[in-house]
């Protein structure tokens, strides 16, 4: 009997000690903040980087569109086609293509790598509906600038100017790798459509 009492007392003391430790552990809330942060950290970081990624994309695309719009002013007024003003001395189509790209790069911010920008120009004497959408890439590969169509049109022509830019930073964003090109970049397109002024051609 004495042996059983000692064993029962030992077991009871163990149970009481375990219960006290359990209550103490339940009452200790010092690690709750760390646990809660660990639960919400990943969704929060994904939301944060997702927001930053979208903002950077739209900001870069907006600045590229602005550069295209400003550079195309010479085409709208006819100075570009007639080789007047800052475009004097331009005679060949290749020279026109290079001159427009230089004008675009002068308006573009420095974080846009102009060496990678491909410019295309299409024109039609009809309406805006007669202009077809240009192709900037085929199977994830950028079109060659030397083979890109560049026709600035003449007086009272409908012209569509498009700048194609493989945004390399888009494929390096954490959590949200924005890429649709073979080299891991994201293709951006900035276009402006207008009708040129009825400038005299003689």
In a domain, 5, yes or no: no
| pLDDT(35) > 80 | no
Domain total for the chain? 1
Computed over every residue of the chain, the mean pLDDT equals 81
Report which listed range, 10-14, 139-143, 173-177, is most confident. Answer: 139-143
Q: What pLDDT score was predicted for residue 173?
A: 66
SS3 annotation, the chain: CHHHHHHHHHHHHHHHHHHHHHHHHHHCCCCHHHHHHHHHHHHHHHHHHHHHHHHHHHHHHHHHHHHHHHHCHHHHHCHHHHCCHHHCCCCCHHHHHHHHHHHHHHHCCCCCCHHHCEEEEEEECCCHHHCCCCCCEECCEECCHHHCCECCCCCCCEEEEEEEEEEHHHHHCCCCCCCCCCCCCEEEEEEEEEECCCCCCC
Give CA–CA dist 49/42, Å, rounded: 11
Range 99-121 average pLDDT: 90
Percent of the chain at pLDDT above 90?
A: 21
Full residue range of the structural domain in which residue 52 is found? 32-195
In a domain, 185, yes or no: yes
In a domain, 201, yes or no: no
Per-residue confidence band for 67, with pLDDT thresholds at 50, 70 and 90: very high
Range 9-31 average pLDDT: 63
Q: What pLDDT score was predicted for residue 193?
A: 92
Token pair in block for residue 176: 């949200």
| pLDDT(29) > 70 | no
The model's pLDDT over 169-198, given as tens digits with 9 standing for 90+, comes to 766 666 666 777 888 888 899 999 999 998
User: Who has greater pLDDT, 85 or 74?
Assistant: 74
In a domain, 1, yes or no: no
User: Who has greater pLDDT, 166 or 178?
Assistant: 166
| pLDDT(11) > 60 | no
Q: What pLDDT score was predicted for residue 30?
A: 60
| pLDDT(12) > 70 | no
User: Which stretch of 2-11, 38-47, 142-151 has the lowest confidence by average pLDDT?
Assistant: 2-11
Pairing verdict, β 158-167 and 186-195: antiparallel
In a domain, 84, yes or no: yes
């Amino acid at each position: 009997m004495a042996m059983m009492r000692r064993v029962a007392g030992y077991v009871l003391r163990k149970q009481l000690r375990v219960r006290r430790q359990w209550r103490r552990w339940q009452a200790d809330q010092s690690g709750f903040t760390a646990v809660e942060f660990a639960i919400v950290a990943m969704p929060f970081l994904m939301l944060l980087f997702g927001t930053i990624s979208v903002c950077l994309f739209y900001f870069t695309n907006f600045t590229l569109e602005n550069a295209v719009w400003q550079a195309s002013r010479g085409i709208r007024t006819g100075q570009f086609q007639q080789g007047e003003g800052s475009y004097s001395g331009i005679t060949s189509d290749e020279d026109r293509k290079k001159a427009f790209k230089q004008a675009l790069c002068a308006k573009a911010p420095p974080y846009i790598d102009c060496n990678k920008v491909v410019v295309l120009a299409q024109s039609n004497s009809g309406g805006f509906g007669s202009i077809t959408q240009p192709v900037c890439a085929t199977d994830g590969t950028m079109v060659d600038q030397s083979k890109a169509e560049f026709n600035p049109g003449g007086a009272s022509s409908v012209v569509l100017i498009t700048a194609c830019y493989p945004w390399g930073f888009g494929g390096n964003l954490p959590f949200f790798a924005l890429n649709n090109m073979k080299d891991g970049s994201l293709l951006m397109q900035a276009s402006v459509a207008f009708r040129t002024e009825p400038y005299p051609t003689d």
